[in-house]
Amino acid sequence: MRSCNSQGFTLVELMLVVVLMGLTSVLGLSSYYRFMNDARLNSGGKAIAGWLDQIRSMAIQNSKTCTVQINPASGTLELVTDPTLGNCDFQDPPRPFTFNLQEQVGQDEIVQLCARLMNPSAEFTPCSSSAPGSALTVRYTPRGTTPDNALIELRSAKQSHNRCIALHSPLGLIRLGRVLNDRCDWTSAW
């Protein structure tokens, strides 16, 4: 005769499985959030570079000087429209052409914008203070060149590898990089 003793799982075994599933979920979610924060910074950096390149193209196409005001405190870049300076003014009636970083990366992510002019011979390094800094003006000539060397940094409290964008004179070239060890690393892939 056969006994009907069914072998099941003990309470300890079931609790161990539940704890392991919980730990796996927590690790997976934290990796996911880090990935999403990194993707937002990438998106913001690429969007700024694309916007600046669009302004450069507008200056070339219309043979006018285009001036961009970078406002770190508000996280915006704005095309300055001043007809007395011969600046870009392509709308009738004129309206501001503005890039807002917070709208680009999303309202739940706080990304700080830092910008400064650089000496052409100096090495590009990230902004040193946590303060956003003062407003900065960058110009594109009718040939698409710029007399300004500028460094724009995107910083996030949730991300250790922030982004840097360099605007190089005289050609107005734009470089994208990642902040590693308090330096802009131009070789790392986004």
Distances (CA, A) of 156 to 34, 41, 113, 139: 11, 8, 9, 27
How far apart CA 86 and CA 64 sit, in angstroms, is 6
How many whole angstroms separate alpha carbon 74 and alpha carbon 178? 22
Query: Among 75, 109, 113, 80, which residue's Cα sits nearest to residue 97?
Result: 80
pLDDT at 1 over 90: no
Is residue 119 within 8 A of residue 129, CB to CB? The reply is no
pLDDT at 185 over 60: yes
Residues in contact with 172: Cβ distance below 8 Å, sequence separation at least 6, in sequence order: 56, 140, 144, 145, 146
> Does some domain include residue 1?
no
Residue 3 placed within a domain: no
- Tally of domains within the chain: 1
- Characterize the bridge pairing of strands 163-168 and 183-185: unpaired
- Flag whether 170 is in a domain: yes
Q: What is the DSSP letter of 144?
A: S
Tell me if 6 is assigned to some domain.
Answer: no
Q: Residue 67 sits in which domain range?
A: 12-185
CA distances to 71, 134, 166 from 123, rounded to whole Å, are 23, 21, 11
CB distance 49 to 77 below 8 Å: no
CATH of the domain at 36: 3.55.40.10
Alpha-carbon span 160 to 114, nearest angstrom:
16
pTM of the predicted model as reported, rounded to 2 decimal places: 0.77
pLDDT in tens, 53-80: 988 988 888 888 888 899 888 888 888 8
What DSSP assignment string belongs to 35-99? Answer: HHHHHHHHHHHHHHHHHHHHHHHHHHHHT-BEEEEEETTTTEEEEE--GGGTB---SSS---EEE
Task: Give the pLDDT confidence score for residue 62 in this predicted structure.
Answer: 84
In tens, the pLDDT along 121-163 reads: 666 566 655 666 678 888 999 999 998 888 888 887 766 678 8
23, part of any domain: yes
88 falls within a domain = yes
Q: Is 29 helix (H, G, I), strand (E, B) or coil?
A: helix
Query: Does residue 156 sit within a domain?
Result: yes
pLDDT (tens digit, 9 = 90+) per residue, 79-108? 887 666 556 765 544 455 888 887 877 766
Task: Judge contact between 42 and 26, C-beta under 8 A.
Answer: no
